[in-house]
Structure formats: C-alpha cells, structure tokens
Copies of this chain bind each other. A is one copy, B any other.
Amino acid sequence: MTNSIEITKAKTSKIQDVDFENLSFGKIFTDHMFTCDFKNGEWQKPEITPYAPLTLDPSARVFHYGQAVFEGMKAYKDDAGKIWLFRPEDNLARINKSAERLAMPAFPHDLFMEGLKKLINIDEDWVKPGFGNSLYIRPFVIATEPAIAASPALEYKFLIICSPAQSYYSGDVRVLVAEQFSRSANGGVGFAKAAGNYAAQFYPTSLANQEGFQQIIWTDADTHEYLEEAGTMNVFFRINDTLITAPTSERILDGITRKSIIQIAKDADINVEIRPIKVSEIVEASKNGSLKEIFGSGTAAVVSPISAFSHKGELFEVPKQDDKYSDKFKNLLNGIQYNTLEDPYGWRQSI
C-alpha cells in the first residue's frame, strides 16, 4: 500500500451524550469515519476524519441511479477490553463482489483492513463489552460523479461509519411468506448488497408490518413456491433434526453468518441440507409436527428465531422447542465473537 492514512482527530467526543442502554439501531455514530475517494481511475488518499456531513453535487450518480453498495459487520469487546472482528475479509470480498456487479471499482484489501482497524482503535471507547453489545460497522461505496448520464460513474467515495448497537431484534419475529411481491430476478442483483435491493423491500414489508409481521420471507419471483431469504437475513428451517437452507444463487445473498452456521452445524454432526426448499414442504412439516425451528441469520440479527409464518392467509406457529439449534448456534457464534470460546476456525481477528 502506497498511501498512508491521514488521521484528523475530533476535538471533542460525543460519547458522553450517548445512552448505551437505550440505543436505536443505526441512529448514533461514533466520533470518526474513514473515507477514500476514487477518481482518475484510482483510489486517492485515505483519511480518518471527524464524523461529518458529506457535500455532494445534486447530480451525483448515487442520487439518480442507485450506484451504491454496502456491508454490515461488527466489532465485539471481550471482558479484558480487547476488540475483535468476525471474518472481516469476507465482508471486503463481498463488497467488492457487489461493486463489480454494479460496475464499481474494487477497494484494496490492505487499505480496507488498515482503515477499519485504525478507525475502530480510535473509537474504541464506543465498543461496549457484554453479549449483545457491539459496534455495528457500515462500509459503503457511493457513486459521486456529478453527471446524470445513465452509465457507470467515474468517481466514487468509499466510507466506513460505525454505530454502537445492542441486539437488533427483540421479541417474537413473525414472518409473511411472499406471494405477490418479489425481491430479485434471475440474472439480477439479488446476491449483491446493492442499495436498491433494500428500498425495493420497504413497501411490501410495510404492508406485512401492518398485518403484524416483522419480516417477509421472499420466494422465487416465477412461482412463489420456493423459499429464498428474508431480505436482511438468510433463513434456516429445522425439520426433525435436519437443518435446511436455500443454496446461495444470483438471487440470494451469500451471508457470512449463514455460512458460519452451516460450518458449525456440520461440525456438530447435524445433518445439513443446502437445497431449494418448497413452501409446501414447510407447510406440510408444520402440519405433521416435524417442523421444529425456523430462524434467520445475519450480522445485525446474528440468529433470530422465527415464531410463526403466514402463507396464503394461514398462520403456522412454530412450536416452542427446548433444545434449540438456534440457541446453540447463537451461543457458539457469540462465544467466538466475544472471545469466550475457542475459535477453531480462525474467524476471530483482534484489531
């Protein structure tokens, strides 16, 4: 790496104004941010600066054509005060994969890792210890070129901003199985963390919210017969003692929590099936009592048990389970993330 990161520290910290016991997700940001501009075909001087508004021309491409990708990741503090990241290189690989699909430039590995770690070190007081507490990290890239031609921008900004977080979901999560709306098409951008994939879910999800469901489980756009993902989570089904999840595809996000769970499950000798899942199969399993669990997985939610799903107007409750896979996976993942358990996988990285 040729460019060293120029660091300008905030004169004062906002941290004393923050109520860390009552955080809304993603509303409060730490004192600093990492930024790096792309122009003239290359990434320019990287900077860590006080968290501050961006100044962009109204014609900046991101406002018009949604040329923007992002990642979600977390930093965890152990009881000794040491801070850990979870598979951060996988986030970089994925943001670059997302960027490629949106005709955006890749961000360099070493610069990402260095910027990320320096930023978190500077704002280390914002990472609170204790299960559930974390620093949510949002790397993102936006097209900044001031011109509204419908073509890939020549200028971009890569940023990392950080927000202190508690557990993302609380209480029962009830989901609606999509029957009308869709999240992604074959040959589309569903596998990418492309900004536009998320706005497209807001309206159907708000309709579901009005019916008392927190999330939608998306189905294939062609037939609505196959279960895919929940938009902010991948989804797992436990039928008897078999764990089933849909294969990743160009429509489904390659979730880092998802693949970690698959690995943990296999190593615990749980039978894992990665294959297309029909809605009818889960309805049938619910009716005959073999459906034991449904849960979502994602960085924000970690593991999020789903207590009921609705399909074609019929509500299916998932029975309470004593020895839940979701608890096992959450405990193992949290143990690795918070450095209270061995990490046989090398997923944990100190900063």
A interface, CB within 8 angstroms of B: 24-27, 29, 33, 51-59, 62-68, 70, 100-103, 138, 140, 142-143, 146-152, 159, 161, 163, 178, 180-189, 194-203, 205-206, 221-222, 231-232
Contacts and interface: CB of A to CB of B under 8 A. Distances in A.
A147 B26 contact: yes
A68 B194 CA distance: 13
A52 to B, nearest CB: 8
Contacts of A102: 199-200, 202-203
Contact of A188 (B65, B150, B182): B182
A43 to B, nearest CB: 18
Contact of A185 (B63, B143, B185): B185
Contacts of A185: 182-186, 188, 221
A58 B138 CA distance: 10
A57 to B, nearest CB: 5
B150 A66 contact: no
B58 A203 contact: no
A343 to B, nearest CB: 28
B149 A24 contact: yes
Contacts of A163: 59, 148
A101 B203 contact: yes
Given A147-B27, A200-B102, A58 B67 contact: no
Contacts of A161: 58-59
Contacts of A159: 58
A202 B102 CA distance: 6
Given A53-B58, A188-B185, A232 B24 contact: no
A195 B102 CA distance: 12
Nearest to A204: B187
A66 B102 CA distance: 13
